[in-house]
Amino acid sequence: MNKFSIRFMTTAIVLYLLLSVGACSEKNKSQSSTQEPKSISNDWIENATAWTDSVMQMMTLEEMVGQLFMPASYASSDYFTIKQLVKYVADNHVGGIVFLKGDIESQKMLSDTLRSFSEIPMFIAIDAEWGLGMSLKDAPVYPMNGRLGRLNDEQLMYEYGHEVARQSREVGINMILGPVLDVVDKSVKNAIGNRSFGDDPRKVAELAVAYARGMEDGNVMSVGKHFPGHGSAMGDSHHVLPKVYRDKFNLDSIDFFPFRAYSDAGLSAIMVGHLYVPSIDKIERSSAISPVVTTDYLKNTIGFEGLVLTDAINMKGATGSTRLGLQALIAGADIVLAPENTSQEIRDVIDAVLKGELSIDSVKNKCRRILMYKYRFAYRTASTSENASDSLRMIKQKELLNKLRDFVKY
């Protein structure tokens, strides 16, 4: 499909939806046009609070609940993908989209479409554990974390994170699902492997935190994963619910160490994985729907105060239960990733609020936290280059790649 066809199709869908939903109400138009912050300064929290208050005054329960969900989509420019994405925004009021496999130009076009169509800024997320090339087939690819674990250069890792942030902004991405904070147990065959920076908790923490700081200083949110630690789990949560056999002492001294460092560094978000950890939660269930793991350990023991995301809730490791999104929110999550049926999951949460199973104050608090971070990251994202493919391959990117390759001795 050529660029003209893509743009024509996108315009047609947007025009159709503007007509079919009767556009948006005058109150939302006013909210969108008059309340947009112009810049992020050192006192961003004060500015974000004022903006968040003004937005939330205008939001319905349905809109607040929608902010708590981020469905998944391929970064594809076909008609049905675009139609589904715009439906997520128009009908479900979702807070963001997690993009899967795709290409640079399609990603840029979809990011621009979502940003121009959504009343409230959206989180646009992607997996980029070793650069955007992990998900976008024609984007730069960097060495996997297992190789970078040999580095003793935190400044280089910071530069790496900052460069990935620059590339992400060029295609409209403002959230990276990474870095991996898991400490791998090399004696166990599991799904993490070279996605981890290694088996030394301190080294994993140093490299991952440096990478995340570079990313966030480049105005892209990082999401450390997969709490409480996937590095020693038997199995792959895409297919089963893996079991973590470590006792409390080793969990605290090994697995929790990088997450505690990430939290202490004031970084923004942590993803809770689909893991069964009997040493801290006797009930066989995903950690993402466990209040013991999410609230008692991540928030209270680790002391994490940022956004809490689930791993993709449509993974096999999370199945076997009903109303998964609702359970995750009750357990302490702020954002539910990749629900199987977004409309149904949102209806389940709204019904639960109306029945008193989940308090309206809880929904408001989660929505408030999300909007605060959106003020910091989502308003700063813009696809600035006409040719994103060329922009992602600037001289700076090539120099960084050469440095990393020199260190890991390709």
Active-site residue, selected from the candidate residues 103, 311, 334, 348: 311
Q: Which two tokens stand for residue 313?
A: 């809730």
Dist CA 357 CA 155 (whole Å): 47
Q: Are residues 374 and 163 in contact, defined by beta-carbon separation less than 8 angstroms?
A: no
Residue 238 known to be catalytic: yes
Distance set, CA 368 to CA 51, 54, 127, 293 (Å): 10, 11, 25, 23
Peptide bond into 238 cis (omega under 30): no
Residue 74: in which H helix or E strand, if any? strand 72-75
* Encoded tokens for 70: 């981020």
Give CA angle at 395 (392, 400), nearest 5°: 85
Catalytic residue, candidates 238, 239, 334, 351 = 238
Neighbours of 407 (CB within 10 A): 16
The DSSP code sequence of 1-68 is --HHHHHHHHHHHHHHHHHHTTS--HHHHHHHHHS------TTHHHHHHHHHHHHHTT--HHHHHHTT
The question of whether 311 is a catalytic residue gets the answer: yes
Q: Which two tokens stand for residue 336?
A: 């539910």
Strands 96-102 and 72-75: parallel
Distance between CA atoms of residues 19 and 272, nearest Å: 39
- Distance (Å, rounded) from C-alpha 84 to C-alpha 117? 13
Active site residues: 238, 311
